[in-house]
Every structure is written in structure tokens, then in C-alpha cells.
A = this chain, B = another copy of it.
Amino acid sequence: MQDLSSTEVYSLSILSVACIAILVNAWNSDGEPLFASLAISGAAFSFTYAVIRWTGDVFIKRGYKGKDLSKKSPVELPEAMGLISALVYLLAVVNFLPFAFKRDIVEATSGGGNKDRVLEAGMDDTGRFLHRFPLEKLASYGFAYGTLATTTILGILDDSFDMRWRHKFFIPAFAALPMLGLYFVDFGVTHVVVPLPLRPYLGELIDLGGFYYLYMAAVAIFCPNCINILAGVNGIEVGQSLVIALLLLLNDFLYVSPWMHQPHPATDSHLFSIYLLLPFVGVSLALLSHNWFPARVFVGDTYCYFAGMVFAVVGILGHFSKTLMLLFIPQIFNFLYSAPQLFKVVPCPRHRLPRFNARTGLLEPSVATFSEEKPLRPIVGEVLKVLHELRMLRVETNEKGRVTQCSNFTILNLWLVWRGPLREDRLATEILVMQTLCGLLGLWMRHSLALLLFSQDNRF
């Protein structure tokens, strides 16, 4: 497991050398942050790929391991390997720093160890098309880093101490504190634009005050947790995160592309987002190539929290958290659909991942069973039967019409109810395609239908 094949060594070396060459070039020509970010992301991919391979055995030895139950002959695989992705990501983000700000670096300083800020006039008018962002973003960058590092710490603790669900749920809120603190100190904007139909009653802007912080905390809790609960199939945690990241990048490029009307007030926020997302794509691709069916490593809660928090950070500090939510439609659906089991209205088994049928090699919906001793409340049973009629669930009843079992309430099981048994990679692929289509629809709504609700799209 731990050795790279010679083809892999060769490819990764070529990639790394190319990336380093681009970085050297970028440095000599004034930073060039966008190329530098791409190159650093490429290098991060190589490094993550190799380190995951090298350290897998160490993880197993220290007890971070698990069996893949959806295979004919389950072997022990290293668990929590998303930690490597998170660490390399943090390293990449730090190393990008000098490139991001090279043009803005203030060289004149006073002798006593204190800096004088030399503000260049017209700094904002030039260089916009070269995708640099100004020094004011530095604090955001630092706190984004701090938030993600804290998320990583708490992810490790979760993976090594097996926390209880009710503690785990709030982990991201703790990790998001640096970001919320920064938001409070540096932006402090708690006004939101009111949709047109409501303006006669509420005015054009409404100040949500403290509620806006609750909203941001909710986003920060929601993103990591909902990635964490849409899980259980090889590659699905990393795959869904990559889809979201790529769609966010697509949206960002709409704002920074040179053929758009420039300078645009939101350009800096979207550059910030691009620079945080590109290395995320790099480290996630490396992880996916080990976690895709048949998985050789598991990603762990660390990765899910970390990925979710990357999205929360770019959405909140980039001021497009509503757009972000449009890219989480399948996750939101999954969360709402899961709610009856999460809140124990319907009994919830320990694991709800699809059931592996060793005879066919395919995945089938897993089920919750309701015994004679602990039957469902009749009203709940009736609702489940209606859901069955609507093809939103598969229910089995006994001869008396009592519900004896139902498929578990996750989008993965529902998909299997709709599509019939599928091989694991087929299921993951279909879910990711569905997610991509939902996301594209969301972005389209954001940029066209939004004009019906708001008087202008901030893209123009």
C-alpha cells in the first residue's frame, strides 16, 4: 500500500516540477496570484497524493482504521486520512500568501520596528485584471486560515475521541468563532437587501443585528454537518465537496473574468474565494483518487468538517452565503428528508448506509425494522404509507397492514428505491451528476431569476 508505483512517481514529479517552475516565474513577474494559486494547487495535489500513500500504515498502526462493509472481502483501511488533505491545504494557503500580496507589500518602514503604511493612490484602479487583491483582505485571509485550522483540530478530536452526536453537531460553531469575530470587527454589516415583493412593508434594507450572526453561525454549522451526513459510499464525501467547490469556482469566475464589466465591487470577494478553493480542489482530488470505489482509504469526519468549513468561510467572508446555499440543494434535501430519523420520530438504526448484497455485488436500500414489541405509532405508519405511494420511501407491511419496515431516510437509499440496486461507484456517480445539475440550476436561478426578487443582480 505505502509505495508509489514508478508511473506515479514519474507523473507526480513532472507535475511538481512544472508547478515550481510556474511559481518561480510568477514570483519574478510581480506575483501573478492566479497562476501562482493554480501552481500551488497542483503541487498540493502531488504532495497530498504521496503523503496519503506513505502514511496510511501509520494511521492503521495508531488505530485509525475501519472495515469497508460494502465489499465482498472487507479489509482494514486507514481511517481519517482527510487529515492529510487538511494539513496540506493549510500549508498551501500559507505558501500562497506572499504571491497574493506581493504587489501590495509595503517596503518603506520606520527604523523602530514599526511599519508605516504607504498607501499608493490609485491602487484600486490598476491591476484589477491581473487578479490581485488588496492588503485589506489580509485579515480575512488570516482568520480564514485560523478558522480552518481550528476545524482541523476539532475534526482530529472527533476522529480520535469518538464524540457523541450532540457534541459533534456544535463543533463547527466553535471552529467558526474566529471568522464570526473577524466579521464583527472588520465588516459588521448586518443589513440584508429585502426582496422586491416585501419592500412595501419592510423597506429596502433591513438590519438583522444579532440575528445575522446567528444566521452565519447556522451556515457554519450546517455546511460541515450536512456533508458529514451525506456519506457512507466510497467517494461520496469527497465527490460532493468537489462538485460544490467547482460550481463555486464557476460562479467566482463570472465575477472576475476580464470580459465582464470591471472593476466590479464584488471582484475582490470572489478572488478571495478562488484563492481558497483552488488548493481545496487540489488536495481533494488527491484524496478522491484514493477514496473512490474501491476505496483504499477512508476520509474521516475531519475531511467532512474541513470541506464544509471551507465553503462556509468563502461564502460568509465573500458575502455570498445565499448563493452558497443554492449549491447545497441535495444536502438540504437529504437533511430534511433525514429529519424524521434524526429526531427519532421514526426509529433510527446505528448505520443507515445502503446495504451491500454480497450475492449480486450491488447496493440496496437499507431498512429500519419495527418489531411487534416496539411498533410505530399508527399515525406515523400512515404517513409512511403515503410516502410509499408517492415513491418517496419503500415500506413493507404485514398481513394486518401494519408497517414492519421502511427504507432508511437518506438520499442514497431513496435513490436506490428509485433506480433499483446499483453498484457502489454507479450510485456515487449518479448522485454526483444529479448534484451537479441541481447546482447549475441553482446558479442559473441566482443570476437570472434573482432579478425578479431584487432590483439588480450584483454581477452587473
Let me know if A142 is at the binding interface, CB within 8 A.
Answer: yes
B58 adjacent to A458 (CB under 8 Å):
no
Shortest beta-carbon distance, A105 to chain B, in Å? 6
- Among A32-40, A148-156, A235-243, A286-294, the stretch that binds chain B is A148-156
Shortest beta-carbon distance, A265 to chain B, in Å? 5
B181 adjacent to A113 (CB under 8 Å):
no
Copies in the complex: 2
Residues on B with C-beta less than 8 A from A115 are 186-189
A142 adjacent to B178 (CB under 8 Å):
yes
Look across to chain B and name the residue whose beta carbon is closest to the beta carbon of A136.
B117
A188 adjacent to B111 (CB under 8 Å):
no
Task: List residues 93-143 of chain A with CB under 8 A from any CB of chain B.
Answer: 94-95, 97-98, 100-101, 104-107, 109-115, 117, 135-136, 138-139, 141-143
A191 adjacent to B111 (CB under 8 Å):
yes
Task: List residues 166-186 of chain A with CB under 8 A from any CB of chain B.
Answer: 174, 177-178, 181-182, 184-186
Let me know if A161 is at the binding interface, CB within 8 A.
Answer: yes
Asked if A97 meets B205 with Cβ closer than 8 Å, knowing A153-B149, A161-B58, the reply is no
Residues on B with C-beta less than 8 A from A138 are 139, 142, 182, 185-186
Residues on B with C-beta less than 8 A from A458 are 112-113
A177 adjacent to B95 (CB under 8 Å):
yes
CA distance A193 to B268 in the complex (A): 38
Majority secondary structure of chain A interface residues (helix, strand, loop or mixed): helix
CA distance A188 to B113 in the complex (A): 10
Residues on B with C-beta less than 8 A from A205 are 111
Residues on B with C-beta less than 8 A from A145 are 142-143, 146, 178
Residues on B with C-beta less than 8 A from A269 are 113-114
Let me know if A90 is at the binding interface, CB within 8 A.
Answer: yes
Selected contact of A146 from candidates B107, B149, B193, B268, CB within 8 Å: B149
Cβ proximity bits A24-37 to B, threshold 8 Å, 1 near / 0 not: 00000000000000
B111 adjacent to A178 (CB under 8 Å):
no
Extra 17 A-B pairs, beta carbons < 8 Å, given A101-B185, A149-B153: A58-B161, A62-B161, A87-B153, A91-B174, A94-B177, A94-B178, A95-B177, A107-B188, A109-B187, A115-B186, A115-B188, A115-B189, A138-B186, A142-B182, A146-B149, A153-B153, A156-B156
Report which A residues bind B (CB closer than 8 A): 58, 62-63, 87, 90-91, 94-95, 97-98, 100-101, 104-107, 109-115, 117, 135-136, 138-139, 141-143, 145-146, 149-150, 152-153, 156-157, 160-161, 174, 177-178, 181-182, 184-189, 191, 193, 205, 265-266, 268-269, 319-320, 458
Q: Which 9 A-B pairs have the closest CB atoms?
A: A142-B142, A113-B319, A149-B149, A97-B181, A145-B146, A138-B139, A142-B143, A139-B139, A146-B146
